[in-house]
């Protein structure tokens, strides 16, 4: 069938090609004069440069219409509908006083090259011929106009043999809308690299004007064809018009500091003129971001984008309907195991709620249904080999250094643990743990000896949560602020010593905290209580991980750099070329998150213990964010788990030697930094070149003063006066976008897909002795445990969410790779990048070797889950490994 479609399309194309000479008719030349195309070409008699244009039509994006795409006449793209004109980088028009480069004659797509297979499905290759003469010189840019009624995706233009220059390539990767949508013609530059001061004079104005176009004027509502990058506060996560329960503070400003997000300019709400109205539907994923920041067609086609939409608009309300009708609980862990083996039953009367608006392939993929049961989940790695390994104290502690959130544990340097909260406001918040209570776990050491020998560590969620805990517990959540003390054993593993659960004082914050201590136990009701204590820690950690370590510290803090880069660094700039691959899809996934995930009553509020205070709490934590501390070595030193050591390979020595995240991460960090240093050295010979780069200085100033406006006066910002500052800053940005995000994202389902291992909320407090809850804990500990953590609905919704977030798309580009082999014409940069790719591969091999080293007990642990989250490569899907270049899901 598909072969016949192709054959028919080829026949149609052949018919069209025989009439190409008649298509153009008369056209307007670059000077605005009407000429006869055939006559003029014959009269000029100049040489022609052959070129290839690769593009993709817009309706390839709709997988329902894919087959019709082929039939839909590639021939309509031929003729005069799409016009290209080369721009000289070496010659100006001698008949004009304009210093801009000379603009060549119009050229048109002439032939569909069916013999050249496209790189990806849906792409088409066309031949084009440009007139050229000796007075034109090097083509450094080209204009393109789209005379059709719909947009298309322009991937590249390659000129085959430009006299004196050879092959010239233009990497475009941009949507071209009909010409009426633009105030200026679209322009693309050849893949050369120039600092602003080195830009050829004929290209200088084009370079400057393109940046002005991308900045916009800060007014009006943005439309899908706009290419404007601008800033705004988080005034779009609430929905005041939807009632008081959907009111949330605006984030960004003195009261609630926050990174800025991309501006959409949507109308304000009726009830609050400072809040932006929300989209009523996410059908078509039509949230504004500059069009080239949207998901690519492959990511749409493999359901990731649609899965998020369906989760919000179909699955969540469908589950709500079920549980409103028949509220029920998981009673045994076996019922959870059944979700991986048999799925979840759907009452026939609510089945339609799940399926409205879903196409057949979406329905099949997302719900995995046989018509009676759905949401049959893949088995998470944490229970795949050992269904009880997650319950052990060793696995509980191991996941703090080799789990999905291995970036919070720190060395204890003062005993008992101290609080940094203001005692005038919060009273005494210091820990109540005493040496007498933990001495039996110190293997013969005193507390002071253990601290001196770097043996005591802490997972401390107390200070971050206590100021908000009273508010949080006023919702359906019943949670604690937790501290967990751990001891580093001789075999390199950690063991928990004590868990402290704290609540605000009922008489007021100024009276301090009410704390209780829980100690390891394996059997009887004490063992059940200890399991619950670990669950309360996991709830804190899962919520803090999702909203702070994941959302705030990767997604949100990076977006200002994405915006500033496009507004201030030309595509010709070397730092633009360095950073842009690490921005792919980030603005779009963030915009989508504001619509369905982090919004009022969104998926994260519905599934995490912070509830409606989630984003407000993330603003509170952002106050402590420091750009320089995002560098992995600086972070490890700050947390006391490493010390500076110039004799060590990465400049730091780990105090927990078998710390999988840190060991693998330092190798990745150093590899990225070496690449950035090598690349930057190609363009900046000294610090003066940094200081005199007007685009670079504007970029850094704007990222600080507009993108992170609430922290613009912090003294720790690099001044961007030296090559070292540039290298460190770019390394941090790339680290956040790639390895840090991979470390905290793609392990969510492997570790948290079995909810008892990482519950995200708690619905009741620790049972008191003598209560009916305590008696239930004694008689039926599994049931009591499951009634404390996520409900059935919250569990199913949360598992659905993190399964989607943990998947790799089919179009993912991983660290050490580029989407285009011709991203630059600079051979030295290409060679440096190839070396980077080789070093990344070397890191991967060494990680694999460490994972089979039986002496490194933290690499796998009791659950037998090897630490693979920082292995750079991956295949599509749910793999628990892979470092994509960018934050793309």
- Residues noted as catalytic: 550, 555, 741, 745, 889
Report the distance separating Cα 741 and Cα 685, nearest Å.
Answer: 32
Q: Angle 694-702/557-568 helices, nearest 10 degrees?
A: 150
Distance separating alpha carbons of residues 110 and 365, to the nearest angstrom: 41
Cβ-count burial 437-456 (b if 16+ within 10 Å, e if not): ebeebbeebebeebbeebbb
Q: CA 686 from chain center: how many Å?
A: 34
Q: How far apart are CA 781 and CA 779, in angstroms?
A: 6
| Token pair for 81 | 């509908």
Token readout for 314 is 């179909």
Element (H, E) at 34: strand 34-36
Give, as one character, the DSSP assignment of residue 234. Answer: B
Residue 867: name the closest of 337, 546, 498, 398 by CA.
Answer: 398
- Name the region of 406 (left: φ>0; alpha: ψ -120 to 50; beta: rest): alpha
Q: Look up tokens 């805990």; give the residue.
A: 469
Q: How far apart are CA 812 and CA 280, in angstroms?
A: 30
CB 784 within 8 A of CB 525: no
Residues 114, 68: contact at Cβ < 8 Å? no
CB count in 10 Å sphere of residue 405: 26
| Residue 71 parent element (H or E) | helix 66-71
Bridge partners for 125 per DSSP: 54
* Cis peptide bond upstream of 416, omega within 30: yes
14's enclosing H/E stretch is helix 2-17
- Of 275, 358, 278, 262, the residue nearest 315 (C-alpha): 358
Map tokens 């309907």 to a residue. Answer: 321
Q: Are 379 and 397 in contact (CB under 8 A)?
A: no
Residue 694 to residue 701: CA distance in whole angstroms: 11
What are the φ and ψ backbone dihedral angles of 112, each rounded to 5 degrees? -85, 115
Can you give the length of the chain in residues?
Answer: 889
Pure H helices in 404-523 = 423-426, 435-438, 447-452, 462-472
Residue-wise DSSP of 101-116 = EEE---EEEEEE-TTS
> Rounded to whole angstroms, how far apart are CA atoms 861 and 395?
6
Closest to 629 in 3D by CA, of 723, 725, 716: 716
């Amino acid at each position: 069938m598909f072969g016949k479609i192709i054959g028919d399309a080829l026949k149609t194309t052949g018919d069209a090609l025989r009439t190409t000479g008649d298509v153009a008719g008369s056209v307007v030349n670059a000077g605005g004069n009407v000429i006869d195309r055939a006559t003029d070409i014959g009269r000029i008699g100049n040489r022609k440069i052959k070129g290839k244009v690769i593009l993709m039509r817009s309706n390839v994006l709709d997988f329902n219409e894919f087959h019709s795409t082929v039939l839909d006449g590639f021939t309509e793209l031929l003729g005069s509908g799409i016009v290209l004109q080369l721009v000289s980088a070496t010659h100006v028009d001698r008949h004009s006083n304009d210093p801009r480069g000379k603009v060549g004659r119009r050229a048109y797509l002439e032939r569909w090259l069916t013999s050249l297979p496209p790189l990806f499905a849906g792409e088409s290759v066309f031949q084009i011929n440009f007139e050229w003469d000796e007075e034109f010189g090097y083509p450094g840019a080209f204009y393109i106009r789209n005379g059709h009624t719909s947009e298309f995706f322009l991937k590249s233009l390659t000129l085959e043999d430009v006299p004196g220059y050879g092959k010239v390539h233009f990497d475009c990767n941009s949507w071209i809308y009909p010409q009426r949508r633009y105030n200026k013609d679209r322009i693309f530059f050849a893949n050369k690299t120039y600092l602003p001061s080195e830009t050829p004079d004929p290209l200088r104005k084009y370079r400057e004007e393109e940046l002005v176009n991308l900045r916009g004027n800060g007014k009006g509502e943005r439309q899908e064809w706009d290419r404007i990058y601008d800033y705004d506060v988080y005034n779009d996560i609430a929905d005041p018009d939807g009632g008081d329960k959907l009111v949330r503070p605006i984030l960004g400003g003195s009261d609630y500091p926050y990174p800025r997000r991309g501006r959409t300019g949507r109308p304000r709400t009726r009830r609050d003129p400072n809040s932006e109205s929300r989209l009523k539907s996410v059908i078509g994923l039509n949230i504004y971001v500059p069009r080239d920041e949207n998901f690519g067609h492959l990511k749409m086609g493999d359901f990731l984008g649609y899965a998020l939409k369906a989760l919000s608009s179909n699955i969540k309300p469908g589950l709500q309907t079920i549980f409103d009708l028949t509220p029920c609980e998981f009673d045994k862990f076996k019922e959870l195991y059944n979700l991986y083996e048999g799925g979840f039953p759907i009452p026939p009367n609510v089945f339609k709620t799940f399926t409205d608006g879903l196409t057949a392939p979406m329905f099949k993929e997302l719900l995995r249904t046989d018509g009676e049961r759905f949401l049959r989940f893949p088995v998470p790695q944490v229970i795949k080999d050992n269904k009880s390994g997650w319950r052990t104290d060793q696995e509980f502690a191991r996941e703090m250094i080799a789990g999905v959130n291995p970036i919070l544990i720190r060395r204890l340097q003062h005993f008992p643990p101290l609080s940094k909260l203001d005692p005038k406001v919060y009273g005494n918040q210091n820990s109540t743990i005493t040496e007498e209570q933990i001495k039996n776990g110190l293997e013969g050491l005193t507390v002071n000896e253990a601290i001196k020998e770097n043996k005591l560590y802490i997972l401390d969620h107390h200070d971050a949560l206590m100021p908000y805990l009273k508010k949080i517990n006023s919702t359906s959540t019943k949670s604690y602020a937790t501290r967990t003390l751990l001891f580093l054993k001789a075999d390199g593993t950690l063991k928990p010593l004590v868990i402290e659960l704290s609540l605000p004082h009922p008489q007021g914050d100024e009276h301090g905290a009410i704390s209780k201590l829980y100690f390891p136990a394996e059997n009887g009701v004490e063992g059940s209580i200890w399991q619950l204590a670990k669950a309360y820690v996991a709830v804190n950690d899962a919520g803090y991980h999702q909203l702070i370590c994941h959302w705030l510290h990767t997604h949100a803090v990076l977006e200002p750099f994405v915006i500033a880069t496009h507004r201030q660094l030309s595509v010709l700039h070397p730092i633009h070329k360095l950073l842009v691959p690490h921005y792919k899809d980030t603005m779009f996934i963030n915009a989508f998150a504001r619509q369905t995930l982090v919004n009022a009553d969104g998926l994260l509020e519905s599934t995490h213990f912070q509830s409606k205070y989630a984003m407000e709490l993330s603003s509170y934590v952002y106050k402590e964010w420091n750009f320089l501390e995002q560098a992995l070595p600086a972070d490890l030193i700050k947390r006391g788990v490493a010390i500076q050591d110039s004799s060590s390979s990465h400049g730091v020595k780990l105090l927990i030697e078998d710390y999988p995240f840190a060991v693998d991460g330092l190798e990745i960090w150093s590899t990225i930094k070496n690449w950035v240093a090598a690349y930057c050295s190609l363009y900046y010979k000294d610090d003066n070149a940094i200081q005199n780069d007007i685009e670079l200085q504007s970029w850094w100033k704007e990222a600080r003063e507009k993108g992170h406006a609430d922290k613009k006066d912090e003294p720790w910002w690099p001044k961007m006066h030296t090559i070292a500052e540039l290298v460190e800053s770019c390394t941090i940005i790339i680290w956040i976008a790639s390895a840090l995000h991979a470390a905290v994202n793609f392990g969510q389902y492997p570790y948290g897909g079995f909810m008892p291992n990482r519950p995200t909320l708690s619905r009741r407090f620790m049972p008191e002795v003598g209560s009916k809850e305590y008696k239930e804990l004694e008689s039926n500990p599994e049931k009591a445990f499951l009634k404390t953590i996520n409900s059935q609905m919250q569990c199913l919704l949360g598992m659905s969410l993190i399964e989607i977030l943990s998947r790799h798309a089919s179009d993912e580009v991983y660290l050490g790779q580029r989407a285009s082999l011709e991203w630059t014409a600079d051979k030295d940069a290409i060679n440096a990048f190839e070396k980077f790719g080789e070093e990344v591969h070397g890191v991967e091999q060494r990680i694999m070797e460490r994972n089979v080293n039986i002496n490194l007990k933290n690499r796998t642990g009791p659950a037998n889950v090897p630490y693979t989250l920082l292995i750079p490569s991956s295949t599509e899907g749910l793999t628990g490994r892979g470092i994509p270049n960018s934050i793309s899901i």
